[in-house]
Structure 1
Amino acid sequence: MPVLFTFWLALLPFFKSAAPAPALFPVANDYCRIYGSVYLERDPKYKNDAAYTVFLGEDEAFANMVVYRESNKLFADATAVWYLTPNKAFADHILYVTDNRNLADITVHFTTVRSFATCRE
């Protein structure tokens, strides 16, 4: 009887449900879901509070996201449309800004035309 029980315990992991395990790291293009109110953290002490590390680039050609800076929080409702909030407490997303492009997860370029706002995968 103990042998059967041991055999059953050995096969138990194969009969578990095939539900996917929760992701420990963000999906590669998960940054495309960033919209709404965004707080740009520049203090290295609070780098761990941020979801992503971003580099604010001047070239639109090399940017992962072309972002439109919205002046009203209610209209920042589409991908790559951000309302930059001055308070961290009111932000939907917190992003750490770095000066080193190699350390960044995302490269962001700000545009002045809303229809140009996009996320490049």
Structure 2
Amino acid sequence: MMQILWMGWMALLPHFVTPATAPAPVSGVSAAKDYCHVYGAVYLERDPRYKNTASAIVFLNEEEAFANLVVYRENNKLFADGPGIWFITPHKAFANHILYVTDQRYQADFTVFYTDVRSSATCRD
């Protein structure tokens, strides 16, 4: 009797035990390209105490030639609907993205240059 129970249990065991799987391979897409998806309402965090709550660290560049993202500041949140078009919100609760602003370029995940021309807003590779 015990042998029958043992065989029945062994027959059901594969249904309950999931096979070990290898970790998913790292894709060829770099995380550095995520800044192209930053648009909409953006809150710029400057307090170092809240640096860990930000989704990325950004450096505000003074030269357009060296910026990863050329940003146009939109006055209306509804029109901030494309890459590089931001509505800078004064309230963290209303933001789609929270970015920490650093003064050190080497700490930044990407760099930003502000433009006055909406059609110049773009994401650079």
Q: Is the TM value for this pair above 0.5?
A: yes
1:113 to 106, 111, 117: 117
Distance 2:62 2:52 in 1: 25
Larger Rg: 2
Between the aligned partners of 1:67 and 1:96, the Cα distance in structure 2 is 16
Q: Is the 8 A contact 2:68 2:123 kept in 1?
A: yes
Q: Which has the higher helix share?
A: 2
Do 2:80 and 2:87's aligned partners in 1 also have CA atoms closer than 8 Å? yes
1:75 — aligned with what? Answer: 79
Report deviation, 1:28: 2.3
Q: CA RMSD in A?
A: 2.5
Q: Percent identity?
A: 61
Unaligned runs of 5+ in 1: none
Aligned counterparts of 1:50 and 1:71: Cα–Cα separation in 2: 23
Q: Give ranges in structure 2 of 5+ residues lacking alignment.
A: 1-9
How many residue pairs get aligned? The number is 107
1:94 maps to: 98
* Aligned partner letter, 2:80: A
Runs of 4+ aligned residues of structure 1 deviating over 3 Å after TM superposition are 18-23
How far is 1:22 from its partner? 9.3
Query: Taking structure 2 as the reference length, what is the TM-score of the superposition?
Result: 0.78
- Is contact 2:69-2:110 (8 Å) kept? yes
Partner Cα separation in structure 1 for residue 83 and residue 118 of structure 2: 11
